[in-house]
Structure 1
Amino acid sequence: MNETLTTAPVVPSKNAIALRYGIICGVITVVYSLILNITELALTHQVLGWISFLIVIAAIVMAMREFKRQNQGFMSYGQGLSIGTIVVLVSSVLGGIFTYLYVTIIDTGYIEKMRNLQVAELEKKGMTDDQIDQAMRITDKMMTPTMIPLMAILGGLVLGFLLSLIIAAIIKHNRPEFE
């Protein structure tokens, strides 16, 4: 008998690819955040913070494209969603660790600066002192060295998951069922 055996294509490790791009994304966003914080542009020009989202989008896209490249041009929607979510998880955790270290070691007055900026914004909106005090009591519970990174991680995961849903739908290319 002269039968030829066909082997299934080897699927690359989506976890390894996602981890690599998550670390890259995390390092880039940490360096970018550090620059914004040191120059205090993060406090005065909040729109610059949105550039971090572009960095995350780029990392998700690059990770999914790398997986497709290693997988003969194919990536299912689920694989893409998994890759994007892992990229964001790793990046968010690195960012959360950095944020904690930043507010507890590097710039211990950062939370107070943020608080003062928020009070000034509320005053600009014409709120009364009682309204500002009430708003700041709530805000103060969330602006602690522990809560800020936790909220950043949670927010990053939610936003990153939503981005991954969209990006995976655009980039996916399913392998034909019968080849």
Structure 2
Amino acid sequence: MNPSPSIRPIAVKWGTILGVLSILNVIYTYFVVGVPQVGEFNIAGTVIGVLVFALAIVCYVMAVKDFRKINDGGSSFGEGFKVIMLTIIVGSIISLIFSYLMDAVIMPDYNEEMYAMTMGTMESSPGMTDSMLEIMDNMYSFIFSATGKLIVGAFGTLIGGAVFASIVALIMQRDPDLTPSVDEIGTV
């Protein structure tokens, strides 16, 4: 049995593309569309978010296709999952570093404003007790910090990424023995 080819160059290529797409999404959202305030809905930001999500799926599919090219036309579920997860990890590292810089250096006041608006909304909500507000205050003070967003983003990306990696890898798995090569297709 031949050893599996290296997935690292493929994951770095598609993960970098994924990371850059995420950065462009953040830049576009913050500086062009504008981040909606609490209670507002921003259709342009939603459309861009859905588009970036779709492009992420395309990156996962292309990473598996690139892997197939160097793996005799096939990929198992496990190989596809590994390629996609490493792609997600590379993209996440790039995106999370940029997001942390945005939150800690470039726009540190934004998180404080969002925290204050969120807590203001909670305080004015009927039925909120002081103990509930204290719990929410502790939770949101962490979530809206640059470090909190980094940690929550990393875990969320890994968990969500594992789900989508499983789905895409399952759909993209292909036995190389049952898949005709490019040379064989033209000779029938």
TM-score, normalization by structure 1 = 0.80
- Among residues 20, 26, 50, which one is paired with 2:19 in the alignment? 26
Distance 1:26 1:157 in 2: 14
Displacement of 1:134 in angstroms is: 3.4
Q: Quick one: distance in 2 between partners of 1:117 and 1:69?
A: 51
| In 2: Cα distance, 1:17 partner to 1:42 partner | 36
AA aligned to 1:21 is W
RMSD of Structure 2 on Structure 1 (CA): 2.7
Q: Distance in 1 between matches of 2:59 and 2:36?
A: 22
What's the offset of the Cα at 1:85? 0.3
User: What's the TM-score, normalizing by structure 2?
Assistant: 0.77
Structure 1 residue 60, shift from structure 2 partner:
0.8
Per the TM alignment, residue 81 of structure 1 is displaced from its structure 2 partner at its CA by: 0.3
Counterpart in 1 of 2:87?
87
Q: Percent identity?
A: 23
Q: CA deviation at 1:173?
A: 0.2
Q: Quick one: distance in 2 between partners of 1:73 and 1:95?
A: 31
Quote the residue 1:111 is aligned against: 111
Aligned to 1:15: 8
- The residue aligned with 2:185 is none
**CA distance in structure 1 between the aligned counterparts of 2:107 and 2:52, rounded to whole angstroms:** 20
Q: In the alignment, what sits opposite 2:157?
A: 156
How far apart are 1:99 and its partner, in Å? Answer: 1.1
Give CA deviations for 1:98-123 in whole Å, capped at 9, x if unaligned. Answer: 11100111111121132134235546
Q: Which SS does the other structure have where 2:16 is aligned? A: helix
2:35 maps to 1:41: yes
Q: Which runs of 5+ in 1 are unaligned?
A: 1-7
Residue segments in structure 2 that go unaligned for 5+ positions in a row: 179-188
Mapped to 1, the partners of 2:127 and 2:112 lie a distance apart of 20
Aligned residues: 170
Is the Cα–Cα contact under 8 Å of residues 95 and 153 in structure 1 kept in the other structure?
no
Report the Cα distance in structure 2 between the residues aligned to 1:19 and 1:106, rounded to whole angstroms: 27
What amino acid does structure 2 have at the position aligned with 1:81? F
